[in-house]
């Protein structure tokens, strides 16, 4: 265990050896005019930095944590797996077990191919769609994030929640499109739920032209329910991309879908995908433990209630202090937009008051509450968050709003 140390010296060392002192840009805290926070332990709903300061955490591993930090079932499974071997290099039974748990929860999935990250899974889904259709273009939506890789030789983009723009793009490019890929609930322009009927329209239009529909459920899979966003929204994709929660806090990604489509992947088919760390034993063990726990004790009703309470409380405080604020929420994930109109796409999100968000996030940090250091990320609740944690965030926000008028 790392001993408590000076934040400044630790940060200087990080900046010396890491680009920007981080390994993922949002961790740099530049969106809110801050500096990277160096953490070294976590438990439940709290994280602790290198100075020993504790923070109530609403980042939750960027959504990968649903059972709180270091849940006993996951930690125990990791210890047992590590004792038996960290990397085996060949297939082991846990891979099939985790895949079975996913297929049992998500009706559209009959088989699974594991990857190491959501980015890799998105790329694999796009390659699979191109192999199946013989087409080389992909359509994606502005503000939806599908990793940092280039998905296809041609990527066409249209606004999210705009069926007319989608229809026009399909009329023009439909014969070249292998797939349409979408976050069924956007979470990387901030949380932006689909407008009523939008996803059903996407499904209808793609089906008519033989274009595969890919749901990127890296964030929403097993967070909005055991069946993911597709289960709660009632729209069935052709392929689904998973990540985050299915790894129980360890690196993972997966592509899932009907057997007739997944069979096009090597070694059964001609679309190649492979990787040394695909199906890593530790990720499989952690994922199995997490999904078993979720199946045995479904948390979704309580998370929905607590998340709704948080959204209502933030809106109440904003009205009390004359702050223009919108809370976009889907289940246990939400984003606070400082805006005076609804946020339904990337343009609306970018038009929000990012300076106000930065003020709010810094004020919370000073009170020991950690929210994503970007206005385009989501706050996440876990089963470790309590009603008192929610009330603490609401009160701290009210104090921040009040200070803006003093």
**Per-residue confidence band for 9, with pLDDT thresholds at 50, 70 and 90:** confident
**Per-residue confidence band for 5, with pLDDT thresholds at 50, 70 and 90:** low
Spans of all domains in the chain: 1-66+299-315+373-395, 72-296
Q: What is the pLDDT of residue 63?
A: 97
Q: Which two tokens stand for residue 134?
A: 């013989």
354-366 helix and 387-403 helix, angle to the nearest 10 degrees: 120
CATH 3.30.360.10 is held by the domain 72-296: no
Could you please state the CATH topology (level 3) that the domain comprising 1-66+299-315+373-395 is classified under: 3.90.1150
Tell me the C-alpha distance between 143 and 158, whole Å.
Answer: 9
Percentage of the chain modeled with pLDDT above 90: 96
Active site residues: 145, 216, 244
For all residues of the chain together, what is the average pLDDT? 96
Query: Residue 31, SS3?
Result: helix
Other CB atoms within a 10 A radius of the CB of residue 406 amount to 4
Q: What is the pLDDT of residues 154-192, one digit of tens each?
A: 999 999 999 999 999 999 999 999 999 999 999 999 999
CA 123 to chain centre: 16
Q: Both ends of the chain: CA-CA distance in Å? A: 43
- Please give, one letter per residue, the 3-state secondary structure of 112-142: EEEECCHHHHHHHHHHHHHHHHCCCEEEEEC
| Residue 321 DSSP label | T
Q: What is the pLDDT of residue 61?
A: 97
Percentage of the chain modeled with pLDDT above 70: 99
Task: Check: CB of residue 370 under 8 Å from CB of residue 364.
Answer: yes
Q: Which two tokens stand for residue 143?
A: 């503000």
| Cα-only R_g, the chain | 21
Q: What is the pLDDT of residues 83-141, one digit of tens each?
A: 999 999 999 999 999 999 999 999 999 999 999 999 999 999 999 999 999 999 999 99
400 phi, psi to nearest 5 deg: -65, -45
Q: Which of 310, 313, 315 is nearest to 326 (CA)?
A: 315
**Per-residue confidence band for 406, with pLDDT thresholds at 50, 70 and 90:** low
Q: Which of 153, 205, 217, 198 is nearest to 180 (CA)?
A: 205
């Amino acid at each position: 265990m790392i001993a408590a140390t000076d934040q400044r010296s630790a940060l200087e060392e990080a900046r010396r050896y890491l680009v920007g002192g981080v390994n993922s840009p949002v961790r740099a805290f530049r969106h809110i005019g801050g500096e990277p926070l160096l953490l070294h332990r976590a438990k439940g709903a709290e994280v602790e930095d290198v100075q020993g300061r504790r923070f109530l955490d609403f980042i939750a591993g960027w959504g990968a944590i649903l059972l709180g930090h270091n849940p006993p079932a996951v930690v125990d499974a990791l210890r047992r797996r590590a004792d038996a071997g960290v990397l085996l290099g060949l297939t082991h039974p846990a891979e099939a077990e985790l895949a079975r748990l996913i297929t049992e929860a998500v009706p559209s999935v009959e088989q699974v191919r594991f990857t190491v990250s959501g980015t890799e899974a998105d790329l694999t889904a796009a390659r699979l769609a191109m192999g199946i259709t013989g087409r080389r273009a992909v359509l994606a939506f502005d503000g939806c994030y599908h990793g940092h890789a280039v998905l296809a030789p041609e990527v066409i983009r249209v606004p999210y929640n705009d069926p007319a723009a989608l229809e026009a793009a399909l009329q023009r490019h439909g014969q070249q499109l292998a797939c349409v890929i979408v976050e069924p609930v956007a979470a990387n322009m901030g949380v932006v739920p689909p407008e009523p009927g939008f996803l059903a329209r996407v499904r209808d239009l793609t089906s008519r032209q033989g274009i595969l529909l890919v749901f990127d459920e890296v964030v929403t899979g097993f967070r909005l329910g055991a069946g993911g966003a597709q289960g709660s929204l009632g729209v069935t994709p052709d392929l689904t991309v998973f990540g985050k929660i299915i790894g129980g806090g360890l690196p993972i990604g997966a592509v899932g879908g009907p057997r007739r489509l997944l069979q096009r992947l090597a070694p059964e088919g001609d679309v190649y995908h492979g990787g040394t760390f695909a199906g890593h034993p530790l990720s499989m063990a952690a994922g199995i433990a997490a999904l078993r726990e979720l199946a045995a004790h479904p948390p979704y009703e309580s998370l929905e209630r607590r998340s709704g309470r948080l959204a209502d409380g933030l809106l109440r405080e904003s009205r009390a202090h004359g702050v223009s604020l919108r809370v976009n929420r889907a289940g246990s994930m939400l984003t606070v937009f400082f805006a005076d109109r609804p946020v339904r796409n990337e343009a609306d999100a970018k038009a929000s008051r990012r300076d106000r968000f930065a003020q709010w996030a810094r004020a919370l940090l000073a009170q020991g509450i950690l929210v994503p250091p970007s206005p385009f990320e989501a706050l996440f609740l876990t089963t470790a968050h309590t009603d008192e944690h929610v009330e603490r965030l609401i009160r701290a926000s009210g104090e921040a709003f009040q200070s803006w008028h003093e």
